[in-house]
Structure 1
Amino acid sequence: MTLKLLVFIHLLLLIFMAVGCNAQHSPEDFDQVNLINSAGPYLGLVVPNSFELAPLLDPSTFIPSKNVSHIDLSGRRFHVGIIADQKVIVVMTGLAMTYGQGEDDELAWESNGDYTRDIGYIHFANYSTEESCDNLLNNVWFNPDEIFPKNGIPEVREHAFWVNVSETYYNLAEQLQNVTLESCINSTTCLPTTPKIVKVERGCSASILAANAAYKNLLHEKFNCTLIDMESAAVALVSLSMGKPFIIIRALSGLAFSNLASKNAVIALTKFFELLSDKPTNGIEMYDK
């Protein structure tokens, strides 16, 4: 199974150029950033890979800005435009480590060249004692992340493990549950059941692609994780630190239907933006949900 992700937060400024002391930016870059910011604020969308980015940037969904349609900073391309009458900035992230599963411990998307076995691995069973079957690797401990809120005391850390989405956004998402999604790739290949949009109580992020069923079951039993991805935590922690609201829209599918899942994620996102048109994004803050 594979998880798709679209995340958006409320952006007041395009601040990415301030990150990285070795980054080289020209005066023209700063001029473009200032021009982009002058037309803001924006909703920011973070997308994990190219095959999910493509349907989002399709001309039927995304209208590029006439002033600055995109800006390339530190190896990232930030697309500036409009989706469903909402000003947006779209950027792609990427994938990280993966947990193998299945025949020959195949890695997810290994056949596409996205992952490799060249670097190495750890086989946990090799580190168990024969007498007691105890694992010599000890335990894996889950800990909160450190954040430094913009309104906090400088250099005084705070801890965050669970981050609340915006209650306004979360309640608004209830209206998505009756949205019709696409069921077929073509006239002969369709899903066995009709896809639907549901709200989840608790979404989780892992430091690896949780393609292993046993690990996913562990996280569900331990933390009641309904869905697991790799991207949400980073955006959630930045949103919490900056005091901005956010929500996660994810699509779940088998690999054979990954392109269909990406299209359905865009359908859900576009409809959500239409619902947002009736609500001002300025002033929406973090809520306890």
Structure 2
Amino acid sequence: MASLDHTLCLLPLLFIIIISSLHVLPASATPSHKRKSASTIRKVNRRGPYIGLVTVIETEEDAFLRSVDFRPDPTHPFLDLSGRRFRNGKIHGKKVLYVRCGLGMVNAAAATQQMIDVFNVKGIVHFGIAGNINNSMSIGDVTIPKQITHAGLLDWLNPEKGNRDEYVAYLDVGNYNTPQGDGNNMLGSIGYNYEKLYSVTGQTNSPQKVFWINTTREWLHLAADLEKMELLQCVNSSLCLPQKPKLVVGLKAATANIFVDNAAYRNFLFDTFGVSSSDMESSAVAMTCVSNGYPVIVIRGLSDLAGAQTGDNAVRKFGSLAAINTAKAVSEFIKKLPPTI
């Protein structure tokens, strides 16, 4: 009985020890690499604010790092988060944070939102290559659009039903039958829909219906002087464009998770929406920035004719040149930004 009494007396003490141990678990359950990253982020952010730079693929990143005077921060040159490398440094004395997001709209939106949420940035410069949709533009040219649409938010309509009045535009597949007949086609029509923009300036849980996302007007005004800048014409001594590339500010762009290499669809995009370029990320970056209330500008170099060419797509021949011209434009734009940003 004495032994049993002694055991019973110890039970409250054991209970306290167990409960105390449970309270310690959450702190020890946090992986050490996350604690280290959080500490580095705090140190990096104290040195901000930064200009956020978001590009897409390795070709663009290689051109950027080779042709722009990017000076990595000597203490914290980069930070790896969620599989992406965020590079910390300066361009023309301006503090920048750079990331390659990866192909497509999901990657673009995710990386942009992470940049905004985690780091002390004051705006986003998004850049890369794009397909040329406008016959007045050429391969090697650089476009800085004022408006961007998500041209991949669409409904594939029932050929026998559907209220077309609710769409911005629609594409009748039957109009592209070969040989051309009565226009009927079992694929029917595609209706282009509006985005639903949730914004810090809007009413909570009441998104605004939009088709065009505007880039930041003040930044477009700064970029206007870039139209005079010199761009490269040659990939190498034996591969040159027939004319000197130009930079144009204020056109329109389309984004969808589609690489456009089709002349008929290219013409449809230009005739219907008046866009001059097509890419797979810009509207996602722009919409994320506008939703959060951050300045944004998009700079895209034209690498191909989006299907209007004879033979193979030119992106493999001139993609690197378009990427270099884009990087040069990004560098010159950063130079024009005020030092306080």
Match of 1:258 in 2: 319
2:230 pairs with one of 169, 176, 180? 180
Deviation at residue 46 of structure 1 after TM alignment: 1.3
2:321 counterpart letter in structure 1: L
Identity of matched residues, %: 34
The alpha-carbon distance between structure 1 residues 213 and 200, as it changes in their structure 2 partners (threshold 3 A), is farther
Identify unmatched segments of 5+ residues in structure 1.
1-22, 98-123, 282-289
Question: How far does residue 24 in structure 1 lie from its aligned partner after superposition?
Answer: 10
The aligned counterpart of 2:311 is none
Q: Deviations over 1:194-238 (max 9, x none)?
A: 111112421221231122221121111111111111111111111
Q: Distance in 2 between matches of 1:91 and 1:247?
A: 15
Q: Deviations over 1:234-255 (max 9, x none)?
A: 1111111111111111111332
Residue in 1 that maps onto 2:88: 80
Letter in 2 for 1:88: V
Q: What's the TM-score, normalizing by structure 2? A: 0.61
Contact 2:197 2:210 in 1 (8 A): yes
Q: Contact between 1:43 and 1:88, CA under 8 Å: does it hold in 2?
A: yes
Check conservation: 1:85, 1:277, Cα contact below 8 A.
no
Question: 2: distance between equivalents of 1:252 and 1:58?
Answer: 19
Q: How many residues align?
A: 229
Once the two structures are superposed, the pairs formed by residues 53-72 of structure 1 within 5 Å of their partners are 53-58=61-66, 61-72=69-80
Deviation at 1:33, TM superposition (A): 1.6
Describe the shift of the 1:55–1:159 C-alpha distance in structure 2 as closer, same or farther (beyond 3 A): same
Residue aligning to 1:135: 185
State how far apart, in whole Å, the 1-side matches of 2:88 and 2:60 are.
17
Indicate how the Cα distance of structure 1 residues 154 and 258 shifts in structure 2: closer, same or farther if over 3 A, else same. Answer: same
2-structure distance, mates of 1:74, 1:212: 35
Q: Which moved more, 1:185-194 or 1:162-171?
A: 185-194
In the TM superposition, what are the counterparts of 1:165-244 in structure 2 within 5 Å?
165-244=215-294
**Superimposed CA distance per residue, residues 79-129 of structure 1 (whole angstroms, 9 cap, x where no aligned partner):** 1111222211111122249xxxxxxxxxxxxxxxxxxxxxxxxxx78xx9x
> Using a 3 Å threshold, how does the CA distance of structure 1 residues 144 and 271 change in structure 2: closer, same or farther?
same
User: Which structure shows the higher strand fraction?
Assistant: 2
Q: Is the contact made by 2:300 and 2:326 (CA closer than 8 Å) also made in structure 1?
A: yes
Counterpart of 1:90, as a letter, is Y
The one of 20, 28, 38 aligned to 1:30: 38
Tell me how far 1:60 sits from its aligned partner: 5.2
Q: What is the rounded CA distance, in whole Å, between the counterparts of 2:285 and 2:104 in structure 1?
A: 15
Higher share of residues assigned helix: 2
Indicate yes or no: 2:102 matched with 1:94: yes
Distance 1:216 1:94 in 2: 24
Q: State which drifts further: 240-249 or 156-165.
A: 156-165
2:295 to 241, 245, 255: 245
1:162 pairs with 2:162 = no
Q: 1:135 to 1:35 in 2, by over 3 A?
A: farther
Structure 2 contact 68–331 (Cα < 8 Å) conserved: no
| Alpha-carbon distance in 2 for matches of 1:59, 1:260 | 11
* 1:50 CA drift (Å): 0.4
Which structure has the bigger radius of gyration?
2
Secondary structure, counterpart of 1:177 in structure 2:
helix
State the Cα distance separating 1:42 from its structure 2 match.
Answer: 1.3
Contact 2:71/2:90 (<8 A) preserved: yes
Partners of 1:205 and 1:233 within 8 A in 2: yes
Aligned to 2:17: none
User: Contact 2:68/2:327 (CA < 8 Å) preserved in 1?
Assistant: no
* 1:137-160, Cα deviation, whole Å (9 max, x unpaired): 332121122232134443333333
Q: TM-score under structure 1 normalisation?
A: 0.72
Give SS of 1:94's match: coil
In 1, Cα distance between equivalents of 2:33 and 2:202: 30
- Counterpart of 1:29, as a letter, is S
In structure 2, relative to structure 1, the CA distance for the partners of 1:24 and 1:204 (3 Å cut) is farther
How many Å separate the matches in 2 of 1:155 and 1:195? 45
Q: Cα distance 1:150–1:178, how it changes in 2: closer, same or farther (>3 A)?
A: same
Map of 1:119 onto structure 2: none
